[in-house]
């Protein structure tokens, strides 16, 4: 079977379980061949379907996330290693980096704090965006921190990124130009489907209304945001008013930015 025929067959097989069946098929084929997706597409007429492709396809059809099968995920301008110990970085979260770019412009932040760093996606994307910056990533999961540290090393940012075990902003001294925060925000009884079924629950669920971690984070923000600084915080659908109220109660000015789908995704909080 040719690469083109295999991709058509795989796309049809993935259609009932994936929102992006063609892309999934191409990513799996490229991974099986050990090539970048663009290289695979350009060279497909000269390639043979590798024996391992069928097994990869079967795993995806059984529900395994693409990022867990390939072990990598692109985010902003970087490629990250991903394991089941961390959330899979998603394009929606890039809205936080976009908010920071809009706030700082070309000058950029000098210091960055990433609370709930997970794979290190937000911190490392920011360090790639602003080569003069340094940052700290904090997470409550030692396994997640190991993934983040490995990503920092692989990307060449080990000298600019530090990682620490911690509980949100508790015990962190000083203030930072940029805070990046993507906390759990799913209500514990919410019905889930898709890739999130394979991700760590501690990074997804936040109490009966999905707001528990925002309540814990909010009191620390005024002391952690430096003058003229910014906290960019991810929120879930329909949470703009409730989370904004928590931050405004701490004396912060809050505005919302939409993701690519037009949904409120990031709250930009600044000190008055």
Q: In this prediction, what percent of the chain has a pLDDT beyond 70?
A: 100
With 0-12 / 13-18 / 19 or more C-beta atoms within 10 angstroms meaning exposed / middle / buried, residue 183 is: buried
Quick one: tokens of 105?
Answer: 């412009």
Asked if residue 166 and residue 243 are part of one domain, the reply reads yes
Burial (0-12, 13-18, 19+ Cβ within 10 Å), 105:
exposed
Choose the final residue of a domain: 11, 29, 63.
63
Whether 267 maps to a domain, the answer reads: yes
- Dig out the tokens for 91 from the structure: 């394009």
In this predicted model, what pLDDT tens digit does every residue of 34-83 receive, in sequence order?
999 999 999 999 999 999 999 999 999 999 999 999 999 999 999 999 99
pTM above 0.85, yes or no: yes
Q: Which helix (H) or strand (E) holds 93?
A: none
Distance CA 158, CA 160 (A): 5
Cα angle, residue 85 at apex, residues 172 and 143 outer, rounded to 5°: 50
What does the pLDDT read at residue 205?
Answer: 85
Domains contained in the chain, number: 2
Residue stretches of the chain with pLDDT short of 70? none
Whole-number pLDDT of residue 150: 98
- pLDDT above 90 covers a percentage of the chain that reads 88
Residue 69 lies in a domain: no
Q: Are 30 and 120 within one domain?
A: no
What pLDDT score does 195 carry?
A: 81
Which alpha helices (H) appear in 44-193, and where do they start and end? 53-61, 66-70, 94-104, 121-129, 142-155
The two counts, helices (H) then strands (E), for the chain are 11, 9
Are 157 and 37 within one domain?
A: no
pLDDT in tens, 169-178: 999 989 999 9
42 shares its domain with 93: no
- Kindly state whether residues 199 and 170 are assigned to the same domain: yes
pLDDT of 193: 75
Q: What length does the chain have?
A: 272
CATH of the domain at 56: 1.10.8
pLDDT digits (tens, 9 = 90+) for 210-230: 999 999 999 999 999 999 999
Q: Give the angle subtended at the CA of 10 by the CAs of 7 and 13, to the nearest 5°.
A: 155
Q: Is there a single domain that holds both residue 92 and residue 218?
A: yes
Helix (H, G, I), strand (E, B) or coil at 130: coil
Q: What is the domain extent for residue 120? A: 83-271
pLDDT at 197: 78
């Amino acid at each position: 079977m040719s690469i083109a025929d295999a991709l058509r067959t795989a796309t049809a097989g993935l259609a009932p379980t994936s929102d992006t069946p063609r892309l999934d098929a191409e990513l799996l084929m490229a991974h099986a061949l050990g090539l970048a997706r663009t290289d695979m597409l350009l060279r497909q007429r000269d390639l043979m379907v590798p024996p391992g492709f069928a097994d990869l396809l079967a795993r995806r059809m059984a529900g395994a996330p693409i990022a867990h099968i390939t072990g990598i995920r692109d985010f902003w301008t970087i490629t990250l290693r991903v394991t089941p110990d961390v959330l899979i970085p998603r394009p929606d979260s890039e809205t936080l980096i976009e908010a920071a770019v809009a706030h700082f412009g070309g000058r950029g932040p000098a210091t960055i704090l990433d609370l709930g760093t997970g794979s290190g996606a937000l911190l490392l994307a920011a360090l790639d965006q602003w080569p003069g910056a340094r940052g700290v990533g904090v997470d409550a999961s030692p396994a997640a921190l190991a993934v983040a540290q490995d990503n920092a090393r692989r990307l060449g940012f080990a000298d600019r990124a530090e990682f620490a075990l911690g509980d949100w902003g508790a015990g962190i001294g000083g203030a930072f130009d940029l805070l990046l925060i993507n906390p759990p925000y799913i209500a514990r009884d919410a019905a889930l489907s898709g890739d999130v079924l394979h991700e760590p629950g501690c990074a997804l669920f936040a109490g009966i209304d999905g707001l528990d971690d925002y309540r814990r984070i909010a009191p620390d923000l005024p002391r952690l945001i430096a003058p003229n600084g910014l906290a960019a915080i991810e929120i879930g659908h329909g949470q703009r008013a409730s989370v904004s109220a928590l931050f405004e109660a701490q004396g912060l000015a809050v505005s919302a930015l939409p993701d690519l789908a037009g949904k409120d995704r990031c709250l930009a909080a600044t000190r008055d």
